[in-house]
Amino acid sequence: MLIKRPDDIKSSEITPESVYLNRRKFIGKGVAIGAVAAAGVAVPWALRSQPGSDAGESMGSQDELTSFEHVSTYNNFYEFGTRKSDPAENAHTLRPRPWAVRVDGEVAKPGDYDLDDLLHGVTMEDRIYRMRCVEAWSMVIPWVGFPLSTLINRFEPTSKARYVEFETLYDVEQMPGQRRAVLPWPYVEGLRMDEAMHPLAIFATGLYGRDLPNQNGAPFRLVVPWKYGFKGIKSIVRIRFTETQPRNTWQVSAPNEYGFYANVNPEVDHPRWSQAKERRIPGLFRNTPTLMFNGYADQVGHLYEGMDLRRNF
């Protein structure tokens, strides 16, 4: 994965959607590009180019960006309802500022942090990650964010920190979908430390050059490009470092269908559907092959050497 960090491009200069939708202009401006994940699964490609090369041609016309309208109105966020349209309709009740995050567990610097203080000094202006996210459906989204490792290093995890656990806000007034026991609330996710420290794992704070919409996980969310979308926990209020493996929400709710790792493996079907192909929104048919680790095998495959990726799903 190549991430370019030009000195002369600020987020204010790349906000207009028209700039993102014009692929050659988007890349020609030297905007940072990478591949990360969203509400489904992550990107099956990672753009690699050398200075002076025509990166635009290497991306391929099949990976045109999904419109902001579709990205912001077709979402999985059960805290606001189980229909894809529910988050956009109901998430206006979420108050993303002020926002506090508790950091605890096996770290030298635990505490309750105001989000703005927590992100102080983190450079995000030039970090635009273009991704394809896949589940049974997929989108291509330009995220604004920064590597998860940047924040983890600030907390100084101890030698006992083998996993990092994330927790979503639990507040039925702000998240009315939590009044229904469709999942055990609050929503919890986790990564192994080496996964969390991988440069492809990021915290996203925006998309299309804008602040992250409520329905997409405001004020910040996790995106992990080689995993299925339920690993992309949203509206995070707690980060806990542990010695033992966390049990993520879908693993607790449906252990026969969802495991801890959630690495993209199109050769293993979900019990209720095939994961071999995806449907690109706003299309109607599953006609795009899903790739192992969403195409990131070269970058992340070494993290799982010796593991049975059918048992460790």
| Domain assignment present for 239 | yes
pLDDT average, residue stretch 173-183: 98
Alpha carbon distances (Å) from 228 to 225, 233, 253: 8, 11, 16
Q: Please report, as a single letter, which amino acid is at residue 176.
A: P
Structural domain tally of the chain? 1
Could you report the per-residue pLDDT of 82-126, keeping only the tens digit for each?
A: 999 999 999 999 999 999 999 999 999 999 999 998 888 776 555
**pLDDT at residue 44 above 70?**
no
Closest CA to 194 of 236, 260, 148: 148
**pLDDT at residue 37 above 80?**
no
The C-alpha atoms of residue 147 and residue 105 are separated, in whole angstroms, by 21
- For residues 138-152, one letter each, b for 16 or more C-beta atoms within 10 angstroms of the residue's C-beta and e for the rest, the string is bbbbbbbbbbbbbbb
pLDDT average, residue stretch 246-269: 94
Q: Which residue has the higher pLDDT, 171 or 140?
A: 171
| Domain assignment present for 310 | no
pLDDT average, residue stretch 69-83: 97
Could you report the per-residue pLDDT of 275-293, keeping only the tens digit for each?
A: 899 888 999 888 888 889 9
| Domain assignment present for 51 | yes
DSSP state of 292: G
The C-alpha atoms of residue 146 and residue 139 are separated, in whole angstroms, by 20
- Comparing 48-57, 133-142, 287-296, 304-313, the range with the smallest average pLDDT is 48-57
DSSP state of 192: E
Q: Which residue has the higher pLDDT, 274 or 14?
A: 274
Q: Which domain holds residue 289?
A: 11-304
| Domain assignment present for 216 | yes
| Domain assignment present for 45 | yes
pLDDT of residue 141: 85
What lies within 8 Å, CB to CB, of 288 at 6+ separation is 62, 138, 277, 278, 279, 280
Burial of residue 11 (CB within 10 Å: 0-12, 13-18, 19+) is middle
The SS3 assignment for 240 reads strand
pLDDT average, residue stretch 13-18: 42
pLDDT of residue 123: 66
Closest CA to 99 of 26, 23, 205: 205
pLDDT of residue 152: 96
Alpha-carbon Rg of the chain, whole angstroms? 18
Assigned token pair, 218: 């405001």
Assigned token pair, 243: 């010695």
Closest CA to 210 of 124, 86, 91, 118: 124
Q: Beta strand pairing status for 236-242 and 100-105?
A: parallel
What lies within 8 Å, CB to CB, of 163 at 6+ separation is 190, 191, 192, 193, 241, 242, 243, 244, 245, 246
| Domain assignment present for 313 | no
pLDDT of residue 39: 31
| Domain assignment present for 220 | yes
Burial of residue 200 (CB within 10 Å: 0-12, 13-18, 19+) is buried
Assigned token pair, 149: 């490792």
Q: What is the CATH number of the domain that holds 63?
A: 3.90.420.10
DSSP state of 270: B
User: Please, are residues 225 and 271 in contact by the beta-carbon 8 Å criterion?
Assistant: no
| Domain assignment present for 312 | no
* pTM for the full predicted model: 0.82
Q: Please report, as a single letter, which amino acid is at residue 212.
A: L
